[in-house]
């Protein structure tokens, strides 16, 4: 086995057979296999891959249940491989498979870690992208300079070949979040990676649709933050704290409405505002901070109640600690800050155990 082609899939049923056919054509004369890593697509992609695999032992399927994520799918697909070289490419035929033999030839020579299929070197390009998409892509590219020092034209490409030793050296350092596996590889490497970019034209998608959405953009920010400050504070805690500070705004607005519009007494209005803020924080955390473990249906209701309990105890700890600091004759703001910090760390830690329990 010389080459494993790892292909992440989510609802790509119609693209599977054409892709395998094309791979067989361009990789003729090479010992290769293709591993489709499917996140339990509702359209039955995995089932179809297994049907093909019945007749062709070069085709394999890794089906993941209850999980989503392009990067983690690529990583786990590569971990199933024993080949010296591993390619990653999309299932949707947007990546030009005809480039694979040339990429393979380049990486066979000893002096490269990665060969990238690049849209942004001479001869490459994107076909038919809308103005905003081009703009967003170039913005994301510029942001990537925060974490990647290599002078690579297309760090966001999802099309590349990597040497297995390089991958093995790095795999434990990867963030594995979001869409940008190549960026992750470059940003996580302790030494500069030796790479080469070969141009290709990014084709239009014919079947199925793109999974790139606003959540993917958020995951990108997540990846950048993790590479920038992840060794100091968990990114999840940063998001949790950010949502918490938004919650203060929500609380004040609700309090004002309770007092001035509904004419409630202060203790009642403050109580209602607290409930509103906690509920808002819970929903925001559920969508952003814990989007990978999002609670739905009954789980959402149960989660909300556990969140009330956690935050209630957090508030008690907050007041207790703050009063203790205050009594030791520290300034009032230090006491307040200390209490808030302890309260939020408590809320974060406890809600990660009791509210957003990792599904098994």
User: Applying CB under 6 A, which residues contact ligand GDD?
Assistant: 8-10, 12, 37-39, 68-70, 73, 90-92, 94, 137, 156, 158, 179-180, 210-212
CA dist 238 to 175, 314, 345, Å? 16, 17, 11
d(CA 56, CA 261): 70
DSSP state of 205: P
Secondary structure percentages of the chain, helix, strand, coil, to 5:
55, 10, 30
Taking the complex as a whole, the smallest distance from the CB of residue 208 to Mn ion amounts, in Å, to: 8
Q: Which does 137 bind (CB under 5 to 8 A by kind): ligand GDD, Mn ion, none?
A: ligand GDD
Taking the complex as a whole, the smallest distance from the CB of residue 275 to Mn ion amounts, in Å, to: 43
Nearest residue to Mn ion, scored by beta-carbon proximity: 92
d(CA 51, CA 8): 17
**Nearer to ligand GDD among residue 9 and residue 281 (C-beta):** 9
The phi, psi pair for 282, rounded to 5°, reads: -60, -45
Q: Which does 39 bind (CB under 5 to 8 A by kind): Mn ion, ligand GDD, none?
A: ligand GDD
d(CA 6, CA 80): 9
Taking the complex as a whole, the smallest distance from the CB of residue 277 to ligand GDD amounts, in Å, to: 32
**Nearer to Mn ion among residue 159 and residue 282 (C-beta):** 159
**Dihedral sign computed on CA atoms, order 105, 167, 293, 283:** negative
d(CA 321, CA 338): 7
Q: Which does 155 bind (CB under 5 to 8 A by kind): ligand GDD, Mn ion, none?
A: none
- Residues in the site for Mn ion, rule: CB under 5 A? 92, 94
Supply 5's token pair: 């082609």
Supply 172's token pair: 């434990």
Taking the complex as a whole, the smallest distance from the CB of residue 69 to ligand GDD amounts, in Å, to: 5
Taking the complex as a whole, the smallest distance from the CB of residue 163 to ligand GDD amounts, in Å, to: 20
**Nearer to ligand GDD among residue 38 and residue 113 (C-beta):** 38
**Nearer to Mn ion among residue 95 and residue 236 (C-beta):** 95
Nearest residue to ligand GDD, scored by beta-carbon proximity: 158
The rounded Cα 269 to chain-centroid distance in angstroms is: 39
């Amino acid at each position: 086995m010389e080459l494993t082609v790892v292909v992440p899939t989510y609802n790509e049923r119609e693209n599977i057979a054409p892709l395998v056919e094309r791979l067989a054509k361009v990789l003729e004369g090479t010992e290769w296999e293709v591993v489709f890593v499917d996140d339990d697509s509702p359209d039955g992609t995995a089932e179809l891959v297994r049907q093909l695999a019945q007749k062709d032992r070069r085709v394999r399927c890794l089906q993941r249940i209850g999980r989503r994520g392009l990067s983690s799918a690529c990583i786990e697909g590569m971990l199933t491989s024993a080949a010296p070289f591993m390619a990653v490419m999309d299932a949707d035929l947007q990546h030009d498979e005809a480039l694979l033999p040339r990429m393979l030839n380049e990486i066979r020579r000893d002096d490269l870690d990665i060969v990238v299929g690049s849209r942004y070197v001479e001869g490459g390009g994107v076909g038919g992208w809308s103005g905003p998409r081009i703009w967003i892509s170039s913005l994301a590219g510029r942001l990537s300079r925060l974490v990647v020092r290599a002078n690579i034209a297309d760090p966001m490409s999802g099309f590349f070949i990597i040497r297995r030793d390089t991958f093995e050296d790095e795999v434990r350092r990867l963030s594995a979040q979001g869409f940008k596996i190549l960026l992750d590889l470059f940003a996580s490497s302790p030494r500069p990676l030796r790479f080469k970019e070969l141009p290709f034209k990014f084709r239009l998608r014919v079947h199925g649709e793109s999974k790139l959405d606003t959540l993917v953009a958020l995951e990108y920010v997540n990846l950048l933050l993790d590479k920038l400050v992840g060794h100091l504070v968990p990114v999840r805690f940063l998001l949790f704290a950010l949502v918490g500070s938004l919650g203060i705004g929500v609380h004040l607005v609700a309090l004002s409405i309770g007092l001035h519009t509904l004419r409630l007494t202060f203790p009642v209005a403050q109580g209602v505002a607290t409930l509103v803020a906690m509920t808002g924080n819970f929903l925001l955390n559920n969508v952003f901070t814990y989007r990978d473990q999002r609670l739905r249906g009954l789980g959402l209701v149960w989660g909300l109640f556990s969140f009330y309990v956690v935050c209630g105890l957090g508030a008690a700890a907050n007041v207790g600690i703050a009063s203790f600091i205050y009594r030791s004759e520290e300034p009032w703001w230090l006491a307040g800050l200390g209490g808030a910090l302890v309260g939020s760390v408590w809320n974060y830690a406890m809600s990660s155990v009791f509210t957003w329990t990792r599904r098994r």
